[in-house]
Amino acid sequence: MDRTKSAKVSLFAVWTILLVLNVNGQSGCDTHRFANNIAFTSCTPLAALGSFLHWNYNGQNSTVSIAYRHPGTSSSSWIAWGLNPSGARMLGTQALVAFTNSSGQFQAYTSSVDDLNTQLPPGSLSFGVSLVSATLVNGEATIFATLELPANLVMTNQVWQEGPVANGVPQIHQRTGDNIRSIGRIDFRTGQSSASGGGSGNRLRRRNTHGILNAVSWGVLLPMGAMMARYMKVFTAPTWFYLHIVFQVSGYVIGVSGWATGIKLGNDSPGTSYSTHRNLGIALFTFATLQVFALLLRPKPDHKYRFYWNVYHHTVGYATIILSIINIFKGFDILDPEDKWRWAYIGILIFLGACVVILEPLTWFIVLRRKSRGGNTVAAPISNKYSNGVNGTTSTTGQHHQDA
């Protein structure tokens, strides 16, 4: 009986919690009450930034009265909501903007986003707007307006945003996380909305594909290929050489695919620019391509220029790996995925680092022991085609052994 009673109590508690959560979720939109008994027949929670859109659509005169609501607004930040018939992006948005001006008043006005570095100056829109006002109460900002919509704007793209204010002027918003996801599709007639407008869903998939390809190629395969060349030669030859080539060529091919995806994303997103991430990506592609061409120009092991080729090969190779890891974390900051993906990659780096810590002294121990016994520094059998030694060392046979 006690167990039955305990089970009933637990079930009741779970049911109560779910009911409370459900009511709280609805209170953010459907059950919200505006001042002065203003009521809206349609409402949708927007997909990012914790915002809500309420509206009444009048099909007879093609007008829509809206209330864009954004909790968590301070006196040092601006909010904006708008429609963009030209595409699912910031540039071209016909926006309603509100912020606390230098007089301490929370003002609302219209602004057409015609420049990527806009400071949202007041201006007319491509459609009629009236009754523009705004309120800021207990940290919740609301913009009210009535829009006179042509037929092509009854169902269109919507964009909303928040950002800082400095010296009474709106500044550029962040370009990570929710600030790059605040775009959607709205149909005022049917009351339906979606989390992404136009091709933004495809762009999100391309962004994820771009991140995965680059993390696997530049961030995993290339470091593993370098480790094959540095450590495996003392254990197995010429297998290490072929493993090195397989990892590096695979990493390059996959990495170029990821790089090309990133270039395409940049060209398709004129309103977004990540100059550091982009420039590092171009540098990585250049270095990796030089490494591929260097293989075609590799001198023979006994050539007088082989030493200089190895210095170049090692320097560019290690620089590529270091820049790759830096740029992958830059990508994490931009894409802002769940923390588990960042920690998963950090775990891979820790594993590779642990392998280096173990293999580095072990490799030198084997090399020095072989040299003390008068043997070759690399695993036998091996020919000059693959002979490398360790770190460009010279074997006891008098022949120079350099990394591939």
Pairing status of strand 169-170 against strand 183-187: unpaired
Residue 181 — φ and ψ, nearest 5°? -110, 0
Query: Is the sign of the CA dihedral 162, 164, 170, 176 positive or negative?
Result: negative
pTM of the model: 0.52
Q: What pLDDT digit, counting tens, does each position of 137-152 carry?
A: 999 999 999 999 888 8
Task: Say yes or no: 249 and 284 in one domain.
Answer: yes
Indicate whether 290 belongs to any domain. yes
Q: What integer pLDDT is reported at residue 16 of this predicted model?
A: 40
Q: Is residue 124 assigned to a domain?
A: yes
pLDDT digits (tens, 9 = 90+) for 224-245: 999 988 888 888 778 888 898 8
| Average pLDDT in the chain | 80
49 with 183, same domain? yes
Question: Residue 196's Cα: distance from chain center in Å?
Answer: 16
Looking at per-residue pLDDT, the higher value among 321 and 87 belongs to 321
Whether the Cβ atoms of residue 323 and residue 280 lie closer than 8 Å to each other:
yes
**27, part of any domain:** no
- Identify the three-state secondary structure at position 65: strand
Residue-wise pLDDT for 151-204, tens only, equals 888 888 899 999 999 888 899 888 777 787 888 888 888 877 766 544 445 666
Using N-to-C axis directions, what is the helix angle for 222-231 and 306-335, rounded to 10°? Answer: 150
Domain shared by 176 and 58, yes or no: yes
Q: Which CATH number does the domain housing residue 327 bear?
A: 1.20.120.1770
DSSP letters, 126-172, are SSEEEEEEEEEETTEEEEEEEEE--GGGSEEEEEEEEEEEETTEE-P
Residue 158, domain CATH: 2.60.40.1210
Do residues 164 and 295 both lie within one domain? no
Q: What are phi and psi of 99, to 5 degrees?
A: -165, 170
Q: Which of 162, 197, 232 is the last residue of a domain?
A: 197
pLDDT tens by residue, 190-203: 877 766 544 445 66
Taking residues 258-280, what's their average pLDDT? Answer: 76
Provide the residue range defining the domain that includes 306. Answer: 200-369
pLDDT at 335 over 80: no
Distances (CA, A) of 208 to 123, 211, 306: 37, 5, 41
Q: How many CB atoms lie within 10 A of CB 361?
A: 10
Final residue before a domain boundary, out of 144, 172, 197: 197
Same domain, 321 and 280: yes
How many structural domains comprise the chain? Answer: 2
Lowest mean pLDDT among 86-90, 104-108, 370-374, 392-396: 392-396
According to the model, what pLDDT value does residue 203 have?
Answer: 62
Task: Specify if 393 maps to a domain.
Answer: no
Residue 22: both structure tokens together:
């459900």
The candidate with the shortest Cα–Cα distance to 135, out of 57, 34, 52, is 34
Shared domain check, 211 and 193: no
User: What are the distances in angstroms from CA 159 to CA 78, 178, 215?
Assistant: 14, 12, 30
Return the pLDDT at 340.
87
pLDDT at 389 over 60: no
Same domain, 179 and 228: no
Question: Is residue 20 one of the residues assigned to a domain?
Answer: no
For 259-283, what is the mean pLDDT? 77
